Amino acid sequence: MDAAELWNVEYLAGRYLDDPPVGFVDDIVTAAARYGLRRGVYIGCGNGRNLLPLLDAGLDLIGVDISAEAIAQLRARRPDRADRLIVGDLSAVPGDHDLVVGIQVFQHGTRAQAHRHLGEAAARVAPGGLLCVRVNATATDIEYDHDVVETAPGDGYTIRYRSGPKTGLDIRFFTAHELQALLGDRFTEEMPLRLHSTRRTPPAAGQWSQWEGIWQRVGRRGRTGADRLVTQDDARFRRAVVPHRVTVASDVDVAAHDDGPVAGQAEVGGGVGGDVGGGDEQPLAPGGHRRRGTAP
């Protein structure tokens, strides 16, 4: 079963359908409003858990996902957006975009594949635009049986699941340094990387962690292509005095395409905030990420 088929099964079973959005959604809305940005693309939008509140906040995002079932569910919920909801991958959204969003999606694959996916997404951000990313962090205590298939000192690691909903899939866990090196000098930090950790609800043990960050592409917005002239709607969005707030997960915080269990999770506070010095080398819980896996 390939990744698209696997996710079709998950969405048919009702995954994420009634889950509230992650708190990172508010950060995206606030950053977009600061620069008067509305248009863009959400990569790996699933069945809309995080995309719908972004649309409700005034953003105009194309939704893209490899799961035909997820897009079908999303079109049923927002038929007015049907022509802007696409079954596909990054190749379905060429060109430059003011906003590029990816929540729990760029970690899928080996190191080379995950790096390529994130790099291709970054290349689609227009000058002056924002790249909004949430991905797995190395501090995660992995729940399901797995093998560590890639690791290196000071770098992240890749696992291959032997059980659970992602059996057979390669999943990447990033360090802060790894993410920053990938973006290089093409971007500046709009929201510095922070580590968000979520404790599993007992009797499940441990926690999983994600890096959340927003970067701005170096350069000035143009007046052609995705960097279009400001419309009336754009101007109204930029003038908003009170940022739109969404109801976010509290007892349940499982991100779209998450590597945690499907059941509800209790949220753990904040992580390292803007201080990422050493944040990529967070100590793991006893046993670390090899708790149920085998060394490479």
Between these two residues, 36 and 256, which has the higher pLDDT value?
36
Distance CA 61, CA 161 (A): 32
Angle, CA 202 vertex, CA 198 and CA 205 arms, to 5°: 65
Paired with 195 in beta bridges are: 211
Distance CA 95, CA 42 (A): 14
State whether residue 118 is helix, strand or coil.
helix
> What proportion of the chain, given as a percentage, has pLDDT over 70?
74
Question: What is the structure's pLDDT at 291?
Answer: 37
Closest alpha carbon to 159 in 4, 289, 6, 7? 289
Question: What is the structure's pLDDT at 102?
Answer: 98
Between these two residues, 223 and 52, which has the higher pLDDT value?
52
DSSP H helices, 43-150, are: 51-56, 68-77, 111-123
Residue given tokens 């441990």 in the structure block: 206
Q: Are 151 and 296 in contact (CB under 8 A)?
A: yes
Question: What is the structure's pLDDT at 228?
Answer: 39
State whether residue 237 is helix, strand or coil.
helix
Average pLDDT across the chain, whole number: 79
Question: What is the structure's pLDDT at 295?
Answer: 30
Q: What are phi and psi of 191, to 5 degrees?
A: -125, 110
Pair of tokens at residue 203: 């009797």
**Res. 244: pLDDT tops 60:** no
Closest alpha carbon to 140 in 194, 193, 199, 181? 199
**85 pLDDT tier (thresholds 50, 70, 90):** very high
The stretch 191-216 carries a mean pLDDT of 93
Q: Tens digit of pLDDT for each residue in 124-154?
A: 999 999 999 999 999 999 989 999 999 988 8
DSSP H helices, the chain, are: 3-12, 24-35, 51-56, 68-77, 111-123, 176-183, 232-239
In terms of DSSP bridges, do strands 157-161 and 170-173 run parallel, antiparallel, or are they unpaired?
antiparallel
Distance CA 171, CA 164 (A): 13
**Domain limits of the chain?**
3-294
Paired with 42 in beta bridges are: 63, 101
State whether residue 263 is helix, strand or coil.
coil
In terms of DSSP bridges, do strands 293-294 and 146-151 run parallel, antiparallel, or are they unpaired?
parallel
* Phi-psi domain of 185 (left: phi exceeds 0; alpha: psi -120 through 50; beta: other): alpha
**Res. 282: pLDDT tops 70:** no
**222 pLDDT tier (thresholds 50, 70, 90):** low
Distance CA 74, CA 71 (A): 5
Count the Cβ atoms, other than its own, within 10 Å of residue 191: 18
Please state which architecture CATH assigns to domain 3-294. 3-Layer(aba) Sandwich (3.40)
The stretch 153-172 carries a mean pLDDT of 92
**114 pLDDT tier (thresholds 50, 70, 90):** very high
Question: What is the structure's pLDDT at 204?
Answer: 85
CA distances from 217 to 123, 197, 288 (A): 9, 27, 35
Distance CA 27, CA 243 (A): 10
